Amino acid sequence: MSKIKTYISHSIRGKMGDAATEEYMDANNQKAISFGKLLSKEFPNVSFHIPGAYEEFVGPAYRKGHLSEKQILDIDCDIISNCNFIIIFSPDDFISKGMKVEIDYSVKHNIPVISAIDGSYDEYVKRICYAINCHLVSMMR
């Protein structure tokens, strides 16, 4: 069986939106990257794509006008099209405009979406891991 691919949809600018500072965006990216590393340990047979891990390229390209928000999201959706499922990383229950685009794309193209809401961070992680396990089992049928 080839490696299972998934995409972790997460907010980069967060609740601050266009007013987000570099530090705030970096903190959001680091949370998503840490979450992805945790999942990678739990599920070594799954490859997790985390957009925030590429912010070193994407952020400056966006700020310099080389990439538009639409172009970035189009690329993200291209990546999602090659994934077995996506995970919504939103421990603060915030869904950004970009995340909505990724979710809508996934639903439209019948790509399963895994999400959890409420509870502490540890409960959130447990719920996501449980959902991933359930999805992996369903893929074996």
Q: Is the pLDDT of residue 118 over 90?
A: no
In angstroms, the CA 118 to CA 101 distance is 22
CA torsion sign for 133, 138, 139, 141 is positive
pLDDT in tens, 56-67: 898 889 889 999
- For the chain, what is the domain count? 1
The confidence band for 31, taking pLDDT boundaries of 50, 70 and 90, is very high
Q: Is the pLDDT of residue 119 over 70?
A: yes
CB 10 within 8 Å of CB 90: yes
In angstroms, the CA 135 to CA 118 distance is 20
Could you tell me the residue range of the domain that residue 101 belongs to?
A: 4-139
CB 52 within 8 Å of CB 29: yes
Task: Output the domain CATH number for residue 99.
Answer: 3.40.50
In angstroms, the CA 138 to CA 91 distance is 25
